[in-house]
Structure 1
């Protein structure tokens, strides 16, 4: 309901109007209602995930069959897939930065979790076109984005407030990842650790419910087998302390590789953006380059029956690298082959994403980690440092360490590597390598593969904490300070008189049509008082700060706080973006007070 604040302006307060099912709101509390919606979303996402992944698998299989009979299709099909993907992004434009998970994070940080339905449709179709035609990407990022869109739309349907909308968005993402990978724990931690960066109980519980329900339904339909099952004797042998240096070195290698991979994606993307053609043509060009790489691999390997290992999700190749028998009777040249395959996957992924393709980065990271780990493990085994160690163990640890390095999310990577194999035997070295990989990757490159595009757009990502209180709030949630208006041609003496009479320090400068021109701060007034005899001659336009940023009524408060820090002022004008009229003054004290109250809100205040 509209309320009048100190500024004398009408500020719209969030109003919880009646939802479509009013009886649901009346009979259960907010917390219980959110859990029920999370369960509903988890049920829905299990079907959505299957509907998304199955056509991609069928399409990629068909691509392999036709390419085995006509090798020139290795170039044509990826180019066609890139053209379709680029056309979809060109025609169905939506506001925001990045793609997939990055786009969802942008909406969380800048749009309070609001995602248009068109974003989900576009991501679904573009990712399917990219992956099914050989683009080097995985399905986990797109299904997380699709689930996020569905969660956002469901929250909109029930008219939930922004913070609950963001949580439901996370529920959809976790449910989607859990269904595709059969990894509910990793799905939960990916959302809380990477996307929301919020581990509070009010966020954690609904996301767990959505992930568990989605996984349970998916397992009942498609089975509960791990994505990459390992042999029964895979876990033979215990982790010994003398193995620690080897796994530390592997973590270092994967961390450096992850940083290099992220930098390669950024470099290739910047080169493609300089190509002055439309998005469809650019993506088509990237697909053609990827196809040429595949064609050259086909000629060198002389293997017409199988697609190159760096095309598509590369799940079959990961399964091979986790098989201990795959490393028997190999020569030293096998190490070079594994490294070549890993580098080829990185290049193929950079071309796919840099040119405008759509997909996820989990699968490429897993494959590259398995290749690095397998090669390192083979060297260890051949050198006789640890005769009991299998290169397959190092491949699994490398998978987790690489994901940790690319995402900067060690918990997600550890649980993902465990759940996709159900092998606990390497959990200890996996934890060690993952943590070190994150440290190395962050030291070499500040941004993860998901936050790089956000950083370029100026989006601030703070540490994991309860920053959701600021991201989901706007100046409308503050008690605005009543502005005192002056005109540029008034004198400093007039300001001093107003300051003494009204006990205010900051003045809003407007033109004759009451449009914002600038701000005179208390510091400006104090500087003018040094030359008190000149006050009658000093005009406001000579004192004001025209370059101070203003605040929009719908901007998230975390961005507002950033502006206070950058400019070191006590107030900023809240300006209507259309009329340019001043709605009030947002103070630094009000922003911090709102954050403090929201962060320390007692959970007992919620209905149970």
Structure 2
């Protein structure tokens, strides 16, 4: 690796004819010493995020015990077991009041899901998250969930991990791209530490935060995720978060049913997105400061919690019961409806909370109900209500978040049921399709889209990286000879208007070897004597690209040196000029891309081929 770096450095230091270093495109290495450093930081970040996740879980347990059982304890308990009666309305209101104060006087960024805020920082602020978010977000989330908020701990942990990664990237010397990688590594580590699902955590980071798939970002994120999962195993063990009995191989008819359930989840995901933001818009019209809105949402939490105590808190037990078929149809419908009301109203009020666990609960419950209903009507079809619940859980999240692969793999990693992968892939794919058709933005991107921030949804190969400069460069180059005098060239500029209107001219010797480039302004504004050879006027280092360089290399080189055209030299003979590439040549690559995406009739295709 070190030898490659030295060779690359040596290659970049060719000497021009005037004895000065030539400026050729730098060699882009996939793996180098800098990436190794980034990986080391990512491993440390994985350990830190895993510890932060454990601290957050302890804080949630502490506030839950304090709010619902009036005791000081860090033992994990469910608020559903409280005996407070109508007093159950009080803890959510107190918690919401504290969160309102923290949001107003600490940071308003603690309001909402957590993931959209991280996405916005990646897309608009070079992945810079304020340092105070590393403690404000987890503390506010612990208070919110601990006082009955119907949210999962994974969203705040992901937000905390991303804040830790961003903070690390601001403390050490990094580029914006490296800082984004560290932010995504922290987020993936947070999710892996919560669910023990490192692969889906990496996929989620790619689909929602990195918006790219390349080794320089993928490797550090993967290492951080694996490290966090290993720490979790050391603390909690390797058992799946949502254990299920072994599943049977699904029949062909059952697979079609599961795919249809995925389609229904896609419709539900679009509806949930629109309803949630409609509630948020309704809060925007209230004639009071937004600091007080969470207390209104808390009334919904407490009121629903009185009639349906299982809606209070994270509710991971509800997901496990649905995946194991432990709910009767009526009980599942009641829980799903109450959970959605409590979650959507409280989230729309601007309190601190996440989206994953509530979506999993609603999706699993709906899938279980549909599976039980269809199984009762078509018992011979082999429809397993537990698989239907599994598909519903993952598919609803896939449609709401547009994280297709992350959703399917997550359901597998948290249950360790490989026979569920085929139904999961079909259901999540269909959900993604229907949700995208019915709703332009996802539940996670609608908020930032309203602020004018566009989140990428397609990760295409860079067309500029697929085209060699030699294939788009002009071979007929108007050059100047090094031995020509200034007077001769000025006379030529006056007599040949067709070729003398270029902005720059490569200067070559008698063997067509590149010496440098002179612009039209250089030639007209020169104060040297009329008989001065052009060789003596070349003062700037030669800036060029190879014929085998990519169009991306050329474009980056143009931007780096603020030039609009580059001489092209032979890779075999770096001093031999073989062409010139301009900005318009670079843009012609995108013209090809647009032409490739045009839909034409098959008959027209054959006519073009002929």
Q: For residues 48 and 273 of structure 1, what CA distance do their matches in structure 2 show?
A: 33
Alignment of 1:530-569 (within 5 A): none
Residue 388 of structure 1 deviates from its aligned partner by: 3.9
Q: Which residue of 1 aligns with 2:310?
A: 309
The structure-2 alpha-carbon separation of the partners of 1:83 and 1:445, relative to structure 1 and needing over 3 Å to count, comes to same
Residue 165 of structure 1 deviates from its aligned partner by: 0.6
In the alignment, is the contact (CA less than 8 A) between 2:111 and 2:352 conserved in 1? no
Q: For residues 45 and 166 of structure 1, what CA distance do their matches in structure 2 show?
A: 16
- Secondary structure of 1:193's counterpart equals helix
Residue 97 of structure 1 deviates from its aligned partner by: 9.5
Matched, 1:37 2:33: no
Q: For residues 36 and 205 of structure 2, what CA distance do their matches in structure 1 show?
A: 21
In the alignment, is the contact (CA less than 8 A) between 1:82 and 1:280 conserved in 2? no
Higher mean Cα deviation, 345-354 or 428-437? 345-354
- Render the CA deviation track for 1:73-117: whole Å, top value 9, x for unaligned: 211111111111121111113679965111111110100111111
Residue 385 of structure 1 deviates from its aligned partner by: 3.9
- Which residue of the other structure, out of 435, 448, 451, is the alignment partner of 1:454? 448
In the alignment, is the contact (CA less than 8 A) between 2:68 and 2:84 conserved in 1? no
Residue 397 of structure 1 deviates from its aligned partner by: 1.3
Matched, 1:252 2:263: yes
Higher mean Cα deviation, 406-415 or 120-129? 120-129
Q: Which residue of 2 aligns with 1:370?
A: 364
In the alignment, is the contact (CA less than 8 A) between 1:89 and 1:279 conserved in 2? no
Matched, 1:262 2:266: no
- Which residue of the other structure, out of 390, 396, 403, is the alignment partner of 1:402? 396
- Secondary structure of 1:169's counterpart equals helix
Q: Which residue of 2 aligns with 1:186?
A: 200
- Which residue of the other structure, out of 416, 433, 442, is the alignment partner of 1:439? 433
Unaligned runs of 5+ in 1: 1-27, 299-307, 328-333, 470-502, 506-569, 571-587, 597-608
Matched, 1:176 2:176: no
Residue 63 of structure 1 deviates from its aligned partner by: 4.2
Q: For residues 198 and 206 of structure 1, what CA distance do their matches in structure 2 show?
A: 13
Residue 463 of structure 1 deviates from its aligned partner by: 3.0
Q: Which residue of 2 aligns with 1:390?
A: 384
Q: For residues 256 and 409 of structure 2, what CA distance do their matches in structure 1 show?
A: 22
Matched, 1:163 2:177: yes
In the alignment, is the contact (CA less than 8 A) between 2:368 and 2:386 conserved in 1? yes
Higher relative contact order (CA 8 A, sep 6+): 1
- Which residue of the other structure, out of 59, 70, 87, is the alignment partner of 1:73? 87
Residue 289 of structure 1 deviates from its aligned partner by: 2.5
In the alignment, is the contact (CA less than 8 A) between 2:273 and 2:443 conserved in 1? yes
- Which residue of the other structure, out of 214, 228, 250, is the alignment partner of 1:239? 250
In the alignment, is the contact (CA less than 8 A) between 1:97 and 1:457 conserved in 2? no
Matched, 1:213 2:227: yes
Q: For residues 138 and 504 of structure 1, what CA distance do their matches in structure 2 show?
A: 63
- Render the CA deviation track for 1:410-462: whole Å, top value 9, x for unaligned: 10101111111111121101110000001111111111111010110000123
- Secondary structure of 1:246's counterpart equals helix
Q: For residues 130 and 407 of structure 1, what CA distance do their matches in structure 2 show?
A: 22
In the alignment, is the contact (CA less than 8 A) between 2:254 and 2:382 conserved in 1? no
In the alignment, is the contact (CA less than 8 A) between 2:110 and 2:352 conserved in 1? no
Q: For residues 446 and 361 of structure 2, what CA distance do their matches in structure 1 show?
A: 21
In the alignment, is the contact (CA less than 8 A) between 1:190 and 1:412 conserved in 2? yes
Q: For residues 281 and 91 of structure 1, what CA distance do their matches in structure 2 show?
A: 13
In the alignment, is the contact (CA less than 8 A) between 2:89 and 2:302 conserved in 1? yes
- Which residue of the other structure, out of 347, 350, 360, is the alignment partner of 2:341? 347
In the alignment, is the contact (CA less than 8 A) between 2:323 and 2:390 conserved in 1? yes
Q: For residues 61 and 395 of structure 1, what CA distance do their matches in structure 2 show?
A: 31
Q: For residues 267 and 228 of structure 2, what CA distance do their matches in structure 1 show?
A: 35
Residue 125 of structure 1 deviates from its aligned partner by: 1.6
In the alignment, is the contact (CA less than 8 A) between 1:163 and 1:468 conserved in 2? no
Q: Which residue of 1 aligns with 2:106?
A: 92
TM-score by length of 2: 0.67
